[in-house]
């Protein structure tokens, strides 16, 4: 009984070894660098420009508010020695209230910007994934990877995807 097991294991091993190179030659893999797509594609650049246009006014307002708060704080430091105790306390309360308002506006701005950026990037990624699928189907790829520790540069199809994405209407 044992010799039969060894023989069948040997036949199975030989069949597997004979089949593996044929399968490996037919297998086609590719890699896409998502960060490059989000940085270099026209769609991503457009999204970045839209965000800058949408948020530049608010960013400038917040910068001005911060500069105003800093100037008021500096003025308080210079003038506090000549103020009465009640004046000093009143100005400190005003400065604290201005600082709270500044912090609130800055936090809201950052949250709104992050939410809009996520929306814009999601649209770019959705379109990029559709283009990756088109490239994979048209060029008969078996698998396209987006995350890897290391990839042979000959497997990188990021430029193809960026070019196809740039050429597509949208």
DSSP 118-148: HHHHHHHHHHHHHHHHHHHHHTT-SEEES--
Reply yes or no on whether the pLDDT at 2 is more than 90. Answer: no
Task: For the beta carbon of residue 69, count every other beta carbon within 10 angstroms.
Answer: 16
pLDDT in tens, 38-59: 999 999 999 999 999 999 999 9
Assign 26 a pLDDT band (cuts: 50, 70, 90): confident
Q: How far apart are CA 58 and CA 64, in angstroms?
A: 10
> Residue 33 has what pLDDT?
95
pLDDT per residue over 86-145, tens digit each? 999 999 999 999 999 999 999 999 999 999 999 999 999 999 999 999 999 999 999 999
Structure-token match 């709104």, residue found: 112
pLDDT at 167 > cutoff 80: yes
End-to-end, the C-alpha distance of the chain in Å comes to 68
Is the pLDDT score of 23 beyond 80?
Answer: no
Domains of the chain: 29-167 (3.30.910.20)
| CA-CA-CA-CA torsion sign (141, 146, 150, 153) | positive
Strand-pair partners of 7: none
């Amino acid at each position: 009984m044992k010799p039969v097991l060894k023989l069948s294991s040997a036949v199975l091993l030989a069949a597997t070894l004979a089949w593996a190179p044929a399968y490996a030659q037919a297998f086609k893999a590719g890699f896409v660098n998502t960060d490059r797509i989000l940085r270099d594609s026209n769609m991503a650049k457009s999204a970045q420009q839209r965000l800058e246009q949408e948020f530049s006014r608010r960013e400038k307002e917040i910068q001005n508010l911060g500069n105003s708060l800093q100037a008021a704080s500096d003025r308080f430091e210079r003038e506090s020695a000549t103020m009465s105790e009640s004046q000093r306390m009143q100005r400190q309360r005003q400065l604290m209230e201005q600082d709270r308002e500044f912090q609130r506006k800055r936090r809201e701005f950052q949250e709104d910007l992050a939410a809009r950026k996520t929306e814009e990037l999601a649209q770019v990624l959705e379109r990029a994934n559709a283009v990756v699928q088109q490239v994979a189907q048209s060029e008969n790829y078996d698998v396209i990877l987006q995350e890897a520790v290391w990839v042979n540069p000959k497997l990188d199809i990021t430029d193809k995807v960026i070019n196809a994405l740039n050429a597509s209407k949208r």
